[in-house]
Amino acid sequence: MDCAISNSDGTIAFDSRSDTPRGMGEARHTGGEMNTPVRTLDGVIADDNVPSPTVIMSDIVGEEINLLRGGSRTLSSPTTRVTYIVIHDQPLERLGSSKQEVEELLRTYGFDELEYLRENLLKAKKSRQTG
């Protein structure tokens, strides 16, 4: 599985010259220096016969909200108990989103304990077993 994760299947431009922290690069919805295959989290889990995860860790500069949008089944699953998401405010804002929207969406998936371990590292946990 050689792809990026977002809210739809297809391709996304990746700009490795971006001014992101530590120069890691950033997905761009227009422009960028190379096209990268992209899939939804739900699609990877369902189509590739991957077991539903218990823990998810994400540091995908600006695409945090799209990971959540494309992973509703996986994240709502009682199997998925904890997620760690590094939140990048400026790239999120370029997509018309915010840290508050990330938090709200996590709550809709059953994550009821949200805690910032660092300024931009969000730990979200389901305190009770559902399903």
Say if CB 26 and CB 61 are below 8 A apart. Answer: yes
Determine the average pLDDT of the residues in 87-101: 89
High-pLDDT (> 70) share of the chain, %: 82
Domain ranges of the chain: 4-125
Residues whose CB is less than 8 angstroms from the CB of residue 116 and which lie 6 or more positions away in sequence, other chains included: 122, 123
pTM of the shown model: 0.80
Go through 32-48 and write b for each residue having 16 or more CB atoms within 10 A of its CB, e for each that does not: beeeeebbbbbbbbeee
At residue 23, does pLDDT exceed 50? no
CA dist 33 and 5 (Å) reads 18
Task: Pick 4-125's CATH classification: 3.40.50.150, 3.40.190.10, 3.40.50.300, 3.90.76.10.
Answer: 3.40.50.150
How do residues 34-49 score in pLDDT, each as one tens digit?
A: 788 889 999 999 988 8
Rg (CA), the chain: 14
